[in-house]
Amino acid sequence: MSNYTQRVYDSLAARVPWEKEFLQAVHEVFSSIQPAVDANPAIEQYSILERMIEPERQINFRVSWVDDAGQVQVNRGFRVEFNSAIGPYKGGLRFHKSVNASILKFLGFEQVYKNALTGLWMGGGKGGSDFDPHGKSEGEVMRFCQAFMSELFRHIGPNTDVPAGDIGVGGREVGFLFGQYKRLVNEFTGVLTGKGLDFGGSLARTEATGYGLCYYTQEVLRVLMNDSFEGKIVSVSGSGNVSIFATEKAQSMGATVRVMSDSSGYIYDPDGIDLALVKKIKLVDRARISVYVDSRPNAKFVAGKRVWEVPCDIALPCATQNEISADDAQDLIKNGVKMVAEGANMPTTPEAIEAFRAAGVLYCPGKASNAGGVAVSGLEMSQDSLRLQWTFEEVDQRLQNIMTKIVSDSLAAANKHGLGNDLMNGANLAGFERVAGAMIAQGVI
Ligand code: NDP
């Protein structure tokens, strides 16, 4: 980092030393962008970095709701409207007990540059609640979503801020949130993405993050290694939306996936994951991944461990932030991993990234490799504006084009700044330059 970049980072670290995840995300981007900052004096002149690390607006609110026993429960709700330089704030809602301001600021900050990489008109934001959906009845989830939207609705809109899903928020929750928004505002608009297909949703949105991750990975394999998924052993962590559809696409591209997980441990199936069974367990029964072994006699469940101890060629972390530690990275390297492509947001710790890069493992940063979800959310916004629904094939083709272009744009940015085929720095530079350019053009706001 140069004097300017370091100074801005240090002042942030002194101001919010407790916001560890947010500082980690800012540090990662700032460590990449020096060539762009050096090349454009307007960035320092107009205090672009200082403005980029400050959300344009941050909303905290109380969410009171009634559980099945008639007891009033209280949770914290958040929306971080980070940057609208290139479009309405766009980014998911996360319902998880770990949610706090630091996690949402890291996610919102990442989202700004990820959305820029898609080439669509979307700014960045993120929101959510410390509500824990595990073990809640459908009625409780619905009442929580309605209470959450009863405050959020006044801050969002189809041209202002368009939330979507994330951990703990899937199609069911988006449906409840959308219904409450419509009731309060008395308008049917594309205010949320990831909606049901009968009320403004896009075909291929459910699959988009996982499929997009595989399109990106396949393109990197083709361009940089003259290779493909065919015949590869792939490890996938998590068993939620991103994991399920990454597994589906990797399998269809000829890879073998033997492991998946949730927060209780991982399953290992030597015959390859039976994805129809995982979908039933996770999407229909909403049960724990451990029950998989009840139907698959050759499979085993390993409690309290991560999938990274199992040898693989390609690792696709698709669960949560910082899920690959330095020790996990050493296990993967020792077992011969060739590539790590992030489906989750910031799943690899800085120490693990260092270890991968030092060992020559191809590391693909989430803000590029998992951008397929928000890309198709952007396409859902386009379809809502047109009042039209495109076919699955049309959306899927556009998704493939966007993911392929993210690879070429990242490589072009890295090459332009003399960094060779560095996908991490290239992605950060490409996203940063687009947002910085728009901020400079729009004046001091
Ligand atoms: P889901 O809620 O559908 O699934 C999350 C999965 O990760 C579950 O299997 C969950 O297990 C596991 N998990 C969550 N927290 C932890 C933890 N602390 N330790 C171990 N496992 C954990 O979420 P998504 O699939 O939508 O999101 C997964 C990741 O992908 C997140 O990082 C998200 O930000 C990112 N992402 C998602 C996009 C999307 O379109 N959905 C778009 C881009 C990125 P359990 O049920 O036990 O908690």
The answer to whether residue 300 is catalytic is no
Given a contact cutoff of 8 angstroms between Cβ atoms, the answer to whether 123 and 84 are in contact is: yes
pLDDT at 52 (0 to 100): 98
The answer on pLDDT for 415 being more than 90 is yes
- Whole-prediction pTM value? 0.97
Residue identifier of the C-alpha nearest atom 11 of ligand 1: 262
Q: What atom in ligand 1 is closest to the CA of residue 346?
A: 32
Which of left, alpha, beta for 355 (phi over 0: left; psi -120 to 50: alpha)?
A: alpha
Q: What is the mean pLDDT of residues 184-195?
A: 97
Q: What is the mean pLDDT of residues 193-222?
A: 98
pLDDT at 135 (0 to 100): 94
pLDDT at 438 (0 to 100): 98
Alpha carbon of residue 59 to chain centroid: 21
Given a contact cutoff of 8 angstroms between Cβ atoms, the answer to whether 275 and 239 are in contact is: no
Give the Å distances, CA to CA, from 246 to 8, 20, 118, 240: 37, 29, 19, 10
Ligand 1 center to 262 CA (angstroms)? 9
Ligand 1 center to 371 CA (angstroms)? 15
pLDDT at 380 (0 to 100): 98
Residue identifier of the C-alpha nearest atom 13 of ligand 1: 319
Task: Give the span between the Cα atoms of 312 and 228, in whole angstroms.
Answer: 15
Tokens of 6: 């370091």
Q: Note the residue count of the chain.
A: 445
pLDDT at 1 (0 to 100): 77
Given a contact cutoff of 8 angstroms between Cβ atoms, the answer to whether 4 and 85 are in contact is: no
pLDDT at 301 (0 to 100): 98
Given a contact cutoff of 8 angstroms between Cβ atoms, the answer to whether 412 and 431 are in contact is: no
Tokens of 202: 């896009």
Task: Give the span between the Cα atoms of 78 and 87, in whole angstroms.
Answer: 20
Kindly state the DSSP code that residue 167 receives in the 8-state scheme.
Answer: T
The answer on pLDDT for 297 being more than 80 is yes
pLDDT at 2 (0 to 100): 80
Task: Give the span between the Cα atoms of 172 and 158, in whole angstroms.
Answer: 20
Residue identifier of the C-alpha nearest atom 27 of ligand 1: 167
Given a contact cutoff of 8 angstroms between Cβ atoms, the answer to whether 267 and 287 are in contact is: no
Q: What atom in ligand 1 is closest to the CA of residue 107?
A: 34
Helices (H), 31-137: 34-39, 42-45, 48-52, 101-118
Q: What is the mean pLDDT of residues 85-107?
A: 98
CA atoms within 13 A on the CB side of 267: 28
Catalytic residue among 105, 126, 136, 232: 126
Ligand 1 center to 406 CA (angstroms)? 23
Ligand 1 pocket by Cβ (under 6 Å): 165-168, 170, 209, 238-243, 262-264, 318-320, 343-345, 370, 373
Q: pLDDT tens-digit profile of 127-162? A: 999 999 999 999 999 999 999 999 999 999 999 999
pLDDT at 199 (0 to 100): 97
Ligand 1 center to 379 CA (angstroms)? 22
Q: pLDDT tens-digit profile of 305-336? A: 999 999 999 999 999 999 999 999 999 999 99
Task: Give the span between the Cα atoms of 152 and 154, in whole angstroms.
Answer: 6
Mean pLDDT of the residues in the chain: 97
The residue type of 289 is I
Backbone angles phi, psi at 21, to 5 degrees: -65, -40
Nearest to 367 by CA among 115, 19, 162, 108: 115
